[in-house]
Amino acid sequence: MRSLRDRPNRPSRPIAALAVAIATPAILALATTSPAQAQQSGNVTFSKDVAPILQANCQICHRPASVGPMSLLTYQEVRRYASRARDLVSKRLMPPYHLDTGVGIQEIKNDWRLSDEEIETFVAWVDAGAPEGDPDDLPPPVEWPNKQMWQLEDLLGPPDHVIKSKPFDVPAEGGDTWWRPRVPTGLDEDKWAMAFETRPSFPAGRQVVHHANPHLLRLTEEGRYRRIQTLSEYAMGKVGEILPGDAARLLKANDMIEWDAHYYPMGYDVPGDQVELGIWFHEEGHEPEFRQDLRLYPLRGDIALRPGGTAMTQGFHRWDHPVRIDSYQPHGHVHLHAMSVQAVYPDGNVELISMVTDFDARWHHSYIYEDDVAPLLPTGTVVVLTGWYDNTAENELTPDPEIWYARGSRTTDEMSHAWIAVTHLTEEGYQRLVEEREKRLASGDSGGSGGSGGDGN
Ligand code: HEC
C-alpha cells in the first residue's frame, strides 16, 4: 500500500499539492516522556504522554499554515482525529518517512520516525478513550521558527553566503516549466563549504517549485564552463545538509552556478520568483581531509509502463578509489514504487545499504547516515541501484493506469535516479577510517563527530 491510499479526498495533483515545512533538527531533538513510564502507570493521557510525541513528530506539519491538512496543537484538535491518527501512526504512514524499517542501515540523521514505544503509547491512549488528563502536565508549547528563516539557522547561524537564481515569472496556468539561468557565485577566492541549503521563496515559491538544483560550473582550460557537481538538491520535503566533519565541497573563485528549477503552476501568478542557495563555509585556513560531492546517479534502461504494467531498471556505479557513502535519496515521479541501493564488494559479498518502498514523490528525504555507519567502500566496489515502477490501479498516484507512461522529465512522465553524497578517500584514508571506526565500536563509543545532531527519537 502506498502512502495514504484510502484517503477519499486526495488532491488531484499530488506532487505539486504540498508546500514544504520540515522540522529543523533542533525541534526534532525535543525530548519525549518515556512511554515505558506511561504504560507502567497504566493511565496514558494526552497532557502527559501524547502531547510531547505530537510536539516532536507531528506539529511541524500539523499547525496553522503548514503542509498538514489540520492542526494538531490542542487536545480538542487532536481528539477529533484520534482514531484516524491511530490508524496512520500504527501503520507508520504518519509521520511520512519512507525508509524501510528493519532492512538496511537504520541509523539516520534527522530520523523523524516514531519509535515502537511511541507508537504503542499513542495506540494505548486512543484505545483508552483518548483521555485528556491534567492540563498542568502539558509541556510548554513549542515556539516554531519563523518560516522565513533558514532551516539550518538554529544550528549554524545565518549562511555565510547566499546565491540567488534570476527572477522568473511563474504563470498561473500551464504545464511544467524549467528555468536554467546562470549566475556568478560572487566568490573572489576559493572556499571549502561545510553546509548547504536551497530554499524557494516564501510562501508562494514553496507551492510552485517542484525541484531546484544549483549545479556548480567551473572554467575549463578551453575557456568553457563545465558542470562539476551539484551543490544541493531541493525538492518538496527536503531540508538543508551538513557535511561530515572530515569532508567538504570546494568552491573556486569564478565558479558559476547553473540553476535548474522546475516550476509547476498552481493556479495563480507568482511574479519574479527566486530560489536561494545558502552556503556555510569552514573557517578561514581550514583544510578538510577529504572532498565530498553530491551527484545524480542514473538508473539506465527503458521505463516503458504499459497500461496496468510494472517495470524495473538498474544502475551500476564504481570508482577507481575508496569512497564513503554519506547519504542516499531516491528520486522518481508518480510511478516509482521502490528503490534500493546495494554494495557489491570486490570479494563478491552483497550488502543492502538502504531500501525505500512506497516511495512518495511528495516527500523527498535525503537519508544521511550516522557517522559510524556510513558505508566505507574499498576500491572496486560496485554500487547497484534498483528501481521498481508501478502503473497498476493499485498505485493511486498514477494519473491514469489505463494509458502508457515513459521516461521524461514532466511531472507525469517517469524518471529515476538517486542523489548520493560521496566522500572520496585515499587508500590510506580508507584504512584509517576503517580502523578508527572498529576501535570506536569496540570501545562502545559510537555516534561520532561532525553530524547535524539529534536523531529525533
Ligand atoms: C512532514 C509533514 C508531516 C508530519 C511530520 C506529520 N504529518 Fe500527518 N499529514 C501530513 C500531510 C501532508 C497530510 C495529508 C496527506 C495527504 O494529503 O495525502 C497528513 C495527514 C494526516 C492525517 C489524516 C488527516 C485526514 O484528513 O484524514 C492524520 C490523522 C495525520 N496526518 C496525523 C499525523 C500524526 C499523528 C503525526 C505525528 C505522529 C503526523 N501526522 C506527522 C503531513 C505530516
Contact 234, 213 (CB under 8 A): yes
Q: Which residue's alpha carbon is nearest to atom 32 within ligand 1?
A: 85
Which of 55, 61, 238 is the pocket-test mutation for ligand 1 (most atoms within 8 Å of CB)? 61
* pLDDT, position 346: 96
- Written as tens digits, the pLDDT of the chain (457 aa) is 333 433 333 223 222 223 333 333 333 334 444 444 445 446 899 999 999 999 988 987 788 766 677 999 999 999 999 999 999 999 988 988 889 988 999 999 878 889 999 999 999 999 999 999 999 999 999 987 666 788 888 889 999 999 999 999 988 888 888 899 999 999 999 999 999 998 888 777 766 777 788 999 999 899 899 888 888 777 655 667 889 989 999 999 989 999 988 888 878 888 998 999 999 999 988 889 999 998 889 998 888 889 999 999 999 999 999 999 999 999 888 899 999 999 999 999 999 999 999 888 777 788 999 999 999 999 999 999 999 999 999 988 888 898 888 887 776 777 789 989 999 999 999 999 999 999 998 987 654 443 333 333 3
* pLDDT, position 268: 85
Residue (of 442, 421, 441, 438) closest to 430 by Cα position = 438
Which of 2, 30, 62 is the pocket-test mutation for ligand 1 (most atoms within 8 Å of CB)? 62
Is the preceding peptide bond at 14 cis, omega within 30 degrees of 0?
no
Q: Which residue's alpha carbon is nearest to atom 33 within ligand 1?
A: 94
Q: Which residue's alpha carbon is nearest to atom 31 within ligand 1?
A: 94
Distance of CA 37 to the CA centre of its chain: 32
Contact 405, 305 (CB under 8 A): yes
Residues with CB under 6 A from ligand 1: 4, 7, 10, 18, 57-58, 60-62, 67-69, 81, 84-85, 88-89, 94-96, 114
Residue type at 312 in one-letter notation:
M
Q: Which residue's alpha carbon is nearest to atom 1 within ligand 1?
A: 61
Which of 13, 49, 57, 58 is the pocket-test mutation for ligand 1 (most atoms within 8 Å of CB)? 58
Atom of ligand 1 nearest to the CA of 4: 18
Query: What is the C-alpha separation between 138 and 115, in angstroms, rounded?
Result: 21
Q: 436 C-alpha to center of ligand 1: Å?
A: 41
Q: 59 C-alpha to center of ligand 1: Å?
A: 9
61 exposed, middle or buried (CB, 10 Å; 0-12, 13-18, 19+)?
Answer: buried
State the chain's mean pLDDT as an integer: 84
Atom of ligand 1 nearest to the CA of 70: 24
Q: 365 C-alpha to center of ligand 1: Å?
A: 16
Q: 369 C-alpha to center of ligand 1: Å?
A: 25
